């Protein structure tokens, strides 16, 4: 019943706010007599820089070494607060991803305990994770996660890289069709991870929050998650915040879209087929219609 | 329209069957011997493209249902299961999601084509109205389909749109509870939307059959708007229209494949990759792009009921276009003023679509009001008056004359002075 009441109040409040928004906007609109600037100014956050990603474009592929480094960052840093409940240990050994060997993925899995059961005695029991298990979440439920993180819920990584975006605006959003720009999410995450700067003069950061140049509203509950040299890379890659953020963002993109490489590869084959087929049809059509065109 | 071969089976088994059920003869007369105007341009290939898209959506949808679970706690993860674990599941789901958008792109082009060339005019009123019914069914189907992945935009889009019905006096709240199957958008809502999302496409297919039937009774319109008069004005559907439609379809598939394989999430909304959460409202609740012009109209009117009525009227007005357009000339090609107003109206629709994606505030609202008024004025004022005051150009005597006159050198043609406007 409680749940029902709270849901109801949400709906009525959303309805009321819609109404309020309409009236408020009508008044503002009348005063400003059609100026578009205030509406745009309301969305003032800086746009993330468009980074160069190996997985962008029609022939984009994940950089396997980068995904392995990104996984290391995720495992050693992010995973202590963020879940990735759709990621299975077996995924780590799949082609088109970090592509660890099956043995390596097994070793990773065995480092975690998961609950199984009930057994013949009817008891639940813990056992080391197998390849078929999903990545164990750091908290048993959302409430526990909030309680440990100052009231904020660290979002799940499963689809996060596709669940974040920023407004491109006109005419950029049309140009993006032709340039195949689909990396709003990764660009935003990279910008956010590097966006912990001193707040501008006059901005009061609320208690328990941190200033971030790219977070909507600028007050983020996540403290700067990583600092230089926090994760030890074994392949000589620079251990900077920028490098960590690139690596973990690429990893997050793979977690969100594990078949990206297969999609682009098949896409190229389909495109070639369709273009050749269209060409053949065009000339056949021309030949068939030739007789009609003349009389 | 006569003079093309009829179907006479030679094979004795086929003869036996045909005298009991003339099915092959029906296919033959509909898709092989059927006379089509010889001057149809590529805008006329969109009927075939739409049939292809309907088939594509039904086939991909039927397979998706094999892996999808319509329950609030499982729906989001089952869609992700399709994306991750089902063989080529990512392909199926992206085909279905982008296919819906492609379906709408094709239907909008098809409707604009009909409006430009006067394809709704007598004797094609019923054909046009059946098309409008298909469009309405498509909107309902797509809306319910977007709810199924149970992401944030699914949930909040469903909440906003179903809440619209509460604007109706007396029965409003009852309708909304009936749509929800409860007192909020929840599992019963998801279940009934899933059921209807599976049902409506087959209703669309049924109305499509009527649409094609009506088309074959009255015959196709053509860019000149002049009815075919002699066999010379038409060509057989096969091979002429089939090969042209096939080329059009494959070109459309190239366009489709660009989105499907390279920018599959471009037409969607990032928030729908966040599982639905009734306690968190997204910053901007935005419907799918194909509803945006109507969403802009909804928000342009300061009263909720007024907005809802305006939005529905925008579609209902289409049903009356055959009688609102008073012009005796069918095709826009020969109507110099109509042509200009038509393109202004197209820009108004695109403008409304852009405004629908913007927050409802400030200048966006004002612009939305102006464009909404223009949208209705086009049908209710401009179309009726144009027919009375516009002086149309001379219409060619026949399709053949229009085609050969265009080529310039045919000695048989007497209509060289006929207008040469390109469609």
CATH assignment at residue B240: 1.20.810.10
Domains of chain A: 2-99+148-270 (1.10.760.10)
Residue B12 located in a structural domain = no
- Whether B317 and B184 share a structural domain: no
Single out the residue in B229, B255, B285 at which a domain terminates: B285
How would residue A45 be classed by pLDDT, with cut points 50, 70 and 90?
confident
Domain count, chain B: 2
Residue ending a domain, among B285, B315, B347, is B285
Q: For residue B341, is it within any domain?
A: yes
- Residue A61 sits at the chain B interface (C-beta within 8 Å): no
CA distances from B24 to B33, B88, B210, B214, B241 (A): 12, 36, 19, 19, 19
Name the residue facing B363 among A14, A39, A264 (closest C-beta): A39
Average pLDDT, chain B: 93
Which residue range(s) make up the domain with B88? 33-285
User: Is residue B323 located within the same domain as residue B296?
Assistant: yes
* Ranges A55-64, B1-10, B94-103, B185-194: which has the least confidence: B1-10
Does residue B208 sit in the same domain as residue B338?
no
Residue among A22, A177, A274 minimizing CB distance to B253: A274
Q: Give the tokens for residue B317.
A: 């007005």
- Measured in whole angstroms, the distance separating CA A130 from the mean position of its chain's CA atoms is 26
Sign of the Cα pseudo-torsion (B71, B75, B77, B78, in order): positive
Which of A8-17, B110-119, B124-133, B405-414 comes out lowest in average pLDDT? Answer: A8-17
Q: Is B122 within a domain?
A: yes
| Tokens describing residue A66 | 């980068």
Whether residues B276 and B315 fall in one domain: no
- Classify residue B15: in a domain, yes or no: no
- The answer on B217 and B295 residing in a single domain is no
Residue B307: give its domain's CATH number: 1.10.287
Determine, for residues A39 and B281 on separate chains, whether the beta-carbon distance falls below 8 Å.
no
> By C-alpha distance, which of A149, A9, A155 is closest to B279?
A9
Neighbours of A127 (CB within 10 A): 12
What residues pair up with A128 in beta bridges, in sequence order? A113
Does one domain contain both B265 and B134?
A: yes
Looking at the structure, tell me whether residues B277 and B316 fall in a common domain.
no
**Cα distance between residue A97 and residue A257, in whole Å:** 10
- Chosen for mutation from B173, B305, B363, B412 (greatest number of chain A CBs closer than 10 Å) is B363
**A166: distance to nearest CA of chain B, Å?**
9
In this structure, the answer to whether residues B333 and B235 fall within a common structural domain is no
Looking at the fold, whether B336 and B236 belong to one and the same domain comes out as no
Same domain, B150 and B275: yes
For residue B90, list chain A residues with Cβ-Cβ distance below 8 A. Answer: 259, 262-263
Strand, coil or helix: A131: coil
Residues 6+ apart with CB under 8 A from A98: A64, A67, A68, A70, A71, A92, A251, A254
In a domain, B11, yes or no: no
Do B265 and B320 fall into the same domain?
no
Closest CA to B193 of B240, B144, B160, B227: B144
- Mean pLDDT throughout A276-283? 98
Examine residue B399 and state whether it is found in any structural domain, yes or no: no
Q: Domain ends where: B285, B306, B330?
A: B285
ipTM of the complex: 0.90
- Would you call A23 an interface residue with chain B, using a CB distance cutoff of 8 Å? yes
CA angle (A262 as vertex; B287, B262 as ends), nearest 5: 40
Q: pLDDT tier at A293 (50, 70, 90 boundaries)?
A: confident
User: How far apart are the CA of A130 and the nearest CA of chain B, in angstroms?
Assistant: 17
Is-contact B192 B181, C-beta < 8 A? yes
**Is residue B319 situated within a structural domain?**
yes
For residue B198, being part of any structural domain is answered with yes
d(CA A231, CA A77): 8
Phi then psi for B188, rounded to 5 degrees?
Answer: -60, -35
Please list every residue in chain A whose beta carbon sits closer than 8 Å to the beta carbon of residue B167.
Answer: none
Q: Are residues B209 and B301 in the same domain?
A: no
**Which residue among B184, B244, B299 sits closest to A8, beta carbon to beta carbon?**
B184
Task: Give residue-wise pLDDT tens across range A159-193.
Answer: 999 999 999 888 999 999 999 999 999 999 999 99
| pLDDT value at B362 more than 90 | no
Portion 220-239 of A in contact with B at CB < 8 A: none
Task: Count the Cβ atoms, other than its own, within 10 Å of residue A241.
Answer: 17
Query: Band of the pLDDT at B361, cuts 50, 70, 90?
Result: confident
């Amino acid at each position: 019943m409680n749940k029902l009441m709270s849901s109801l109040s949400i709906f009525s409040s959303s309805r009321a706010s819609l109404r309020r928004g309409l009236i408020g906007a009508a008044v503002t609109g009348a005063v400003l007599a059609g100026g578009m600037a205030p509406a745009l100014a309301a969305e003032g956050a800086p746009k993330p820089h468009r980074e160069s990603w190996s997985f962008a474009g029609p022939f984009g592929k994940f950089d396997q070494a980068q995904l392995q480094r990104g996984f290391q960052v995720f495992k050693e840093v992010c995973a202590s607060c963020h879940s990735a409940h759709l990621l299975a240990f077996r995924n780590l050994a799949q082609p088109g991803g970090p592509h660890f060997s099956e043995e390596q993925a097994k070793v990773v899995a065995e480092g975690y305990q998961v609950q199984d059961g009930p057994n013949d005695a009817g008891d639940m029991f813990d056992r080391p994770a197998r390849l078929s298990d999903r990545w164990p979440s750091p908290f048993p439920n959302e409430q526990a996660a909030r309680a440990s993180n100052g009231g904020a819920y660290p979002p799940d990584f499963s689809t996060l890289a596709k669940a974040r975006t920023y407004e491109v605006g006109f005419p950029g959003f049309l140009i993006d069709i032709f340039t195949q720009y689909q990396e709003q999410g990764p660009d935003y995450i990279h910008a956010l991870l590097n966006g912990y700067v001193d707040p501008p003069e006059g901005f009061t950061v609320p208690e328990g929050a941190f200033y971030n140049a790219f977070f909507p509203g600028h007050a983020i509950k996540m403290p700067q998650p990583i600092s230089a040299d926090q994760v030890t890379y074994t392949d000589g890659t620079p251990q900077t915040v920028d490098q960590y953020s690139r690596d973990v963002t690429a990893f997050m993109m793979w977690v969100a879209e594990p078949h990206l490489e297969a999609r682009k590869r098949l896409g190229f084959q389909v495109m070639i087929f369709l273009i050749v087929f269209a060409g053949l049809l065009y000339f056949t059509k021309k030949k068939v219609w030739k007789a009609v065109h003349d009389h | 329209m006569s003079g093309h071969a009829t179907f006479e089976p030679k094979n004795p088994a086929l003869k036996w069957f045909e005298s009991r059920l003339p099915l092959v003869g029906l296919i033959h007369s509909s898709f092989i011997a059927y006379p089509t105007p010889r001057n149809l341009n590529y805008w006329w290939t969109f009927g075939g493209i739409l049939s292809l898209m309907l088939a594509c959506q039904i086939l991909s949808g039927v397979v998706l249902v094999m892996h999808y679970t319509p329950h609030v706690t499982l729906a989001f993860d089952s869609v992700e299961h399709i994306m991750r674990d089902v063989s080529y599941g990512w392909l199926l789901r992206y085909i279905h999601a982008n296919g819906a958008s492609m379906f709408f792109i094709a239907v909008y082009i098809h409707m604009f084509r009909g409006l430009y060339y006067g394809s709704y005019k007598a004797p094609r009123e019923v054909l046009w109205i059946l098309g409008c019914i298909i469009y309405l069914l498509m909107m309902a189907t797509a809306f319910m389909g977007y709810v199924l992945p149970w992401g944030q935009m699914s949930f909040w889009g469903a909440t906003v749109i179903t809440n619209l019905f509460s604007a109706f006096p007396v029965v409003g709240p009852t309708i909304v509870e009936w749509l929800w199957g409860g007192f909020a958008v929840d599992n019963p809502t998801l279940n009934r939307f899933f059921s209807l999302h599976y049902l409506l496409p087959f209703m669309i297919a049924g109305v499509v059959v009527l649409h094609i039937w009506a088309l074959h009774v009255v015959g196709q319109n053509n860019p000149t708007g002049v009815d075919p008069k002699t066999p010379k004005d038409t060509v057989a559907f096969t091979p002429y229209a089939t090969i042209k439609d096939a080329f059009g379809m494959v070109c459309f598939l190239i366009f489709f494949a660009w989105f499907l394989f390279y920018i599959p999430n471009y037409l969607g909304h990032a928030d729908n990759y966040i599982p639905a959460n009734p306690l968190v409202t997204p910053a901007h609740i935005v419907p799918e792009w194909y509803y945006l012009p109507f969403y802009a109209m909804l928000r342009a009117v300061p009263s909720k009921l007024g907005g809802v009525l305006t939005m529905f009227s925008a579609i209902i007005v289409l049903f009356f276009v055959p009688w609102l357009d008073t012009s005796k000339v069918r095709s826009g090609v020969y109507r110099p003023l109509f042509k200009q107003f038509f393109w202004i109206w197209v820009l108004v629709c695109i403008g409304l679509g852009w405004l629908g994606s913007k927050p409802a505030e400030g200048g966006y609202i004002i612009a939305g009001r102006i464009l909404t008024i223009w949208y209705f004025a086009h049908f209710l004022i401009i179309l009726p008056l144009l027919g009375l005051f516009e002086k149309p150009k001379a219409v060619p005597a026949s399709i053949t004359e229009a085609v050969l006159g265009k080529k310039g050198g045919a000695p048989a043609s007497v209509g060289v002075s006929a207008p040469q406007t390109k469609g």
